[in-house]
Chains A and B, each alone.
Chain A
């Protein structure tokens, strides 16, 4: 589904180029659950951002299915971005001014989903994550784990085929983290392609493939038996 060829990403400093990613070759098939691991600064987040079309400042080729991202028109790329990807952040990144309900609703609004359909999607999600009672609360009124649940609900509201998660459990204690990973597993079972970056080895066990990045290069790439 996704193919990266010779991806380089660097920062031009005064005297030299500092590479963040170098020569990344990566093929991701639909339905995979990939874990990116590696020390801080290895390029995990950068790679996720490139995969998620949030960063376009790199060299090399990116194919989504048959299509070369570089050659797509802005509008198509924007539609691809909206339609196929969901994002989950370490710091949750909920919009403080919006309630739980409205936070989940936001991506649907940007996809021009009709009001009736929005209601039913959000109702399902709230139900699924046991948050119906909290739908009118603001993020500041929730615990970290609950906030991340909202973050996940928001990410999957648009039914993306690819879910990108950057340290989704980084701010959570282990019980909450486990709960989140169980949800990921469920989503994976339903057919969603998931790519997560993490420091925690135990999270990788929920996935199907583990990629280790060091200094911007792929060091190991192995399948995980479940």
Chain B
């Protein structure tokens, strides 16, 4: 029986090439998109699940409460892990990771000159007990037990020494210090939140030798014993704080608390916490998942629509088979086997395509598609389930309709499948609703991205370079700066703690005098040239001058130091710019006076409102040179600056970033959402239009005679287009209304995440709807043109 079903299904599919082609292509494209999205989502879900006992590994976050402000940070003191191991029996082991790239890069010399490396971390000797990465060379138990030992990843070992085996026992000069390579580990998997090239022994570091409760620069991890009770463990943490930090807390008036976070939750968890690797907002995974399902739905709908439309032509076959004794279930089996064959064919094709595009995809999206998932038993089962569901969903409705035809009527060839018409119409509406909706979403995302790139941030970010420098260059940096200015390729140069796109350092501030409410303020340590270099607007007061004291100098000599506040800070303090100038404030524990007020500028991503900011002089704390180069011909100026740098700082590479490019990087995840929406809305439109083409073809075929008569009576091509498109135009109009509703909802939800957002206006809606309408009309137009060009004498004869 099944053999017969299959044979007949194959012949039917072969006979109706247009129908088969549209369905096969539509389903294949939908499945490819579905696989890609699924693999991506799976990759994101699989983060940090590969360590043995991953469900028992927890990372610690720390909460500071100071002056009524709560701040949750992901780093902890160096003393936390040793104390936990010592005092808590639940803790099997624990480790600490100090990500040096938060502060600076390192220079690595294997005897062939300095290389700048930024993926460098110190970890303690228990690291591999918590995270059991594979060790390719070296003694697993004693890799990082002593100071000045370093473990390389395989890729790094190859880069420096040719192979893992070669690297073991060699020595490397890192920032001038001699390290011994004690081992080589596998590269960090792409789905690990840990991501480094070098792991050096924490004992090398000052706080590795003598752990302390301050500063909080270290990521702490523990692995609990299998029988440990997490909530009981957590309940004891406040006692630990009280025991070790109680006295300090009272003295300085702050509170702190430690919280556990499952290691598997780091990547998708709270994105405001800093991490070694940027995480993914789980919201986007849900959105992508929904998009994947919608695409499959559109492919399925194509099948349903075409198959039911086509039922009119197959009713004779159905009637015959019934007359010969076919049960409804037997006919159902035959029709469902057609949809199954198509789906399986599409699945095979899409797997082939995935294999072909996977390498490209890694390059484009930066997301590795782990195809091994597809080989696994689970993957195979999921695949089979997906194919089965898709085939059933696609074949179900048409099979029910076809197998339910009454034999007499069917044989009479007079049947009109009218009952299914509204189903088909609503499915078409749904398809174009999804296409338009996705396109509107794309345009909304794009318009916000554009807004963020074009908005006036309140400072100049074009033609401004950021040149990070090492902290042991701080003595000579002023000379480098002057030398660069002399070349004329730099208009203005400032030293600053960071680029103005993310200023994170937190301080407290309150007006002079006692019993004043203090609040949190961001601090930006710079030199006197910052205001000019990035062109801040001074509203009142004066810019820093040569003789102004830096914060550190003022602290040493118990004097006041000048600070420049922004408008947001003033509104907290309740002063106008003119009132503010000259006022005294307590800034981070020492007294300062307000030298000037600058107009608010965006020193963080536009997700956030402009927060209070205090700019002060402290060139000693600076890490980057901000260099404004003359507009035009950047390459020439860069070359001149580079040669100056090479002359002045021969041992460090000239690594620069453009501030505007770094600013654009802030919105990478949004950019990615925009790209994915754009791509998949294109795919949705493509599949939907193919379906429309098929549907119009059937309508045209059925109405060939009618159109022939109309033509004889003098209908023009436009008239024919009108006849064929009238029904569809109505459906598209309904889709447009629905899509507009969705778009309004979506832009509300999505733009909510931005404190500073564009006013969307009408154009995303209008352009999305127009684009889809236009494509749909072209589809119908092409088909009607083909019908129109038929010679009526032929079409009329055939009936």
Query: Using a CB–CB distance below 8 Å, which chain A residues touch chain B?
Result: 49, 52, 54-55, 78, 81-82, 85, 87, 89, 93, 95, 97-98, 102, 105-107, 109-112, 154, 158
Contact = CB atoms under 8 A, between A and B. Distances in A.
Chain B interface helix/strand/loop/mixed: helix
B8 A87 contact: no
B343 to A, nearest CB: 21
B325 A98 contact: no
A98 B8 CA distance: 7
B4 to A, nearest CB: 5
Given A49-B408, A54-B407, A97-B11, A106 B324 contact: yes
A82 B323 CA distance: 9
Given A49-B408, A93-B411, A112-B1, A107 B324 contact: yes
For the complex of A and B, the 10 pairs showing the least CB-CB separation, nearest first, are A82-B325, A107-B324, A110-B325, A97-B11, A110-B326, A87-B323, A93-B320, A54-B407, A55-B408, A54-B408
A194 to B, nearest CB: 17
A112 B2 CA distance: 11
Contacts of B326: 110
Interface of B: 1, 4, 7-8, 11-12, 15, 316-317, 320-327, 330, 407-408, 411
A85 B322 CA distance: 12
B316 A93 contact: yes
B323 A106 contact: no
Nearest to A49: B408
Nearest to B411: A93
Given A54-B407, A95-B317, A97-B11, A110 B324 contact: yes
A112 B1 CA distance: 8
Contact of B327 (A85, A102, A110): A110
Chain A interface helix/strand/loop/mixed: mixed
Contacts of B1: 109, 112
A64 to B, nearest CB: 15
Nearest to B10: A97
B325 A97 contact: no
A107 B8 CA distance: 14
Contact of B12 (A85, A97, A109): A97
Contacts of B317: 95, 97
Nearest to A105: B4
A112 B324 CA distance: 13
B323 A54 contact: yes
Contacts of B321: 95, 106, 110
A69 B4 CA distance: 31
Interface centre among A52, A89, A98, A109 (most CB of B within 10 A): A109
B324 A87 contact: yes
A82 B327 CA distance: 9
Interface centre among A54, A111, A154, A158 (most CB of B within 10 A): A54
A94 to B, nearest CB: 8
A75 B321 CA distance: 17
A107 B326 CA distance: 7
Given A55-B408, A93-B316, A93-B411, A109 B323 contact: no
A154 B324 CA distance: 9
Contacts of A102: 4, 7
Contacts of B12: 97
Given A78-B325, A93-B411, A106-B321, 20 more contacts: A49-B408, A54-B323, A54-B407, A54-B408, A78-B327, A81-B325, A93-B316, A93-B323, A97-B317, A105-B4, A106-B4, A106-B324, A107-B325, A109-B1, A109-B4, A109-B330, A110-B324, A110-B325, A110-B326, A111-B325
Contacts of A49: 408
A98 B321 CA distance: 12
B320 A95 contact: yes
Contacts of A78: 325, 327
B5 to A, nearest CB: 9
A15 B695 CA distance: 38
A76 B429 CA distance: 43
Interface centre among B316, B320, B321 (most CB of A within 10 A): B320
Contacts of B330: 109-110
Contact of B8 (A55, A97, A158): A97
Contacts of B322: 54
A46 to B, nearest CB: 9
A102 B322 CA distance: 16
A106 B325 CA distance: 9
Contacts of B320: 93, 95
Contacts of B408: 49, 54-55
Nearest to B8: A97
A106 B323 CA distance: 11
A93 B323 CA distance: 10
Nearest to B330: A110
Contacts of A87: 323-324
A55 B327 CA distance: 15
A71 to B, nearest CB: 20
A158 B411 contact: no
Contacts of B324: 87, 106-107, 110, 154
15 contacts: A52-B323, A78-B325, A81-B325, A85-B325, A87-B323, A87-B324, A93-B320, A93-B323, A97-B11, A97-B12, A102-B4, A107-B324, A110-B321, A112-B1, A158-B325
Contacts of A98: 8, 11
Nearest to B407: A54
A81 B323 CA distance: 8
A111 B330 CA distance: 10
Interface centre among B1, B320, B324 (most CB of A within 10 A): B324
A35 to B, nearest CB: 21
A85 B4 CA distance: 22
A112 B15 CA distance: 27
A109 B411 CA distance: 21
Contacts of B323: 52, 54, 87, 93
Nearest to A154: B324
A208 B326 CA distance: 31
Nearest to B316: A93
Contacts of B316: 93
B447 to A, nearest CB: 53
Contacts of B7: 102
B314 to A, nearest CB: 10
Nearest to A78: B327
Nearest to B319: A93
Contacts of B325: 78, 81-82, 85, 107, 110-111, 158
Contacts of A81: 325
Contacts of A93: 316, 320, 323, 411
Contacts of B15: 97
A96 B15 CA distance: 11
B727 to A, nearest CB: 28
Contacts of B411: 89, 93
B341 to A, nearest CB: 14
